[in-house]
Structure 1
Amino acid sequence: MTIALNPSKITGDYFRNRDYAVTAAEVANELRHTVQERDAIAGSPSPEVRCLRAAGLLPLVVPKAYGGTGASWSEAMDIVKALAKTDSSAAQLYGYHLLLSVVPHLIGTAEQTVRYYRDTAQHNHFWANAINTRDLRLTLEADGDGFRASGVKTFCTGAVVADRMICAATQPGNPLPVMFVLPSDRPGLTYNHDWDTLGQRRTASGSFTFESVRVEPAELLGPPPNLESAFPTGLGIGGMLVQSAIFQGIAEGALAAAQAYTRTQARPWETAAVETAAEDPYLLRRYGELWAQLQGAIALTQG
Structure 2
Amino acid sequence: MTQVLPLQRRAPAARLPSDEPAAYDIVAATETLAQQLAATAVERDRRGGHAAHERELIRASGLLALTIPRELGGLGADWPVYYRSLRRLAQADSALAHLFGFHHLQVAGLLLYGSAAQQQRVLKETTAGSLFWGNALNPADKRALATPTDGGWRLNGPKSFCSGAVGSDRLTVSGWHAETQSLLIAVLPTQREGVAVLSDWDAFGQKQTDSGTVEFDDVFVPHDDVLVAPGTVQTPRATLRSQVAQLIMANLYLGIALGAYDEARRYTREQSQPWFASGVAAAADDPYVQHRYGELWLLVRPAVAVADAAAARLDLALRQGESLGAADRGEVAIAVAEAKVLSHRAAIEVSSQLFELTGARSTSARHGLDRYWRNARVHTLHDPVDYKLRDLGRHQLDGRVPDPTSYS
**TM score, norm. by length of structure 1:** 0.91
1:76-91 aligned at under 5 Å gives the runs: 76-91=82-97
**Deviation readout 1:183-206 (Å, 9 max, x if unpaired):** 111122222322122331110111
Query: How many angstroms apart in 2 are the aligned matches of 1:203 and 1:16?
Result: 32
Match of 1:144 among 126, 138, 150: 150
Matching residue of 2:114: 108
1:93 and 2:104 are equivalent in the alignment? no
RMSD: 2.3
Percent identity of the aligned residues? 34
Query: Which residue in 2 is equivalent to 1:65?
Result: 71
Aligned residues: 296
- In structure 2, C-alpha distance between the alignment counterparts of 1:87 and 1:199, rounded to whole Å: 11
Residue type matched to 1:194 in 2?
Answer: D
For residue 31 of structure 2, the aligned residue among 22, 25, 33 is 25
2:55 is the counterpart of 1:49:
yes
Aligned AA (2:237): F
Change in 2 beyond 3 A, CA 1:205/1:26 = same
Match of 1:193 in 2: 199
Determine which of 245, 261, 264 is the counterpart of 1:239: 245
CA distance in 1, matches of 2:62, 2:116: 26
Q: C-alpha displacement at 1:222, in angstroms?
A: 3.9
Partner of 1:249: 255
Per-residue CA distance 1:203-222 (angstroms, 9 max, x = gap): 01111111222222211114
Residue 123 (structure 2) aligns with? 117
Aligned partner of 2:275 among 269, 275, 282: 269
Query: Which deviates more, 44-53 or 245-254?
Result: 44-53
2:295 to 282, 289, 294: 289
Equivalents in 2 of 1:285, 1:187: separation in Å? 59
Give the partner amino acid of 1:238.
V
Q: C-alpha distance in 1, partners of 2:205/2:27?
A: 24
What is aligned with 1:170? 176
Question: Is the CA contact (8 Å cut-off) linking 1:156 and 1:207 kept in structure 2?
Answer: yes
What is the CA-CA distance between 1:19 and the residue it aligns to? 2.5
- 1:170 positional shift: 0.6
Distance in 2, matches of 1:137 and 1:267, equals 54
Partner of 1:173, secondary structure, is coil
Amino acid across the alignment from 1:167: V
When residues 75 and 58 of structure 1 are mapped into structure 2, their CA distance, relative to the original with a 3 A threshold, is same
In 1, Cα distance between equivalents of 2:89 and 2:21: 17
For 2:150 and 2:176, the matched residues in 1 are separated by 18
Q: How many Å separate the matches in 2 of 1:130 and 1:251? A: 28
Q: Which runs of 5+ in 2 are unaligned?
A: 1-9, 310-408
> Residue type matched to 1:140 in 2?
A
User: Which range moved further: 20-29 or 36-45?
Assistant: 36-45
Task: Specify the SS of the correspondent of 2:242.
Answer: helix
Would the alpha carbon gap of residues 267 and 15 (structure 1) be closer, same or farther in structure 2, given more than 3 Å must change?
farther
Instruction: Report the CA distance shift for 1:17/1:238 in structure 2 as closer, same or farther (over 3 A).
Output: same
Match of 2:284 among 278, 282, 296: 278
List gaps (5 residues or longer) in structure 1: 1-5
Structure 1 pair 229/214, CA: closer, same or farther in 2 (3 Å)?
A: closer
Q: What letter matches 1:154 in structure 2?
A: S
Amino acid aligned to 1:209: E
Give the whole-Å Cα distance in 2 for the aligned partners of 1:7 and 1:286: 44
The structure with the greater share of residues assigned to helix is 2
Give SS of 1:266's match.
Answer: coil
CA contact (8 A) 2:108 2:244 kept: no
TM-score by length of 2: 0.69
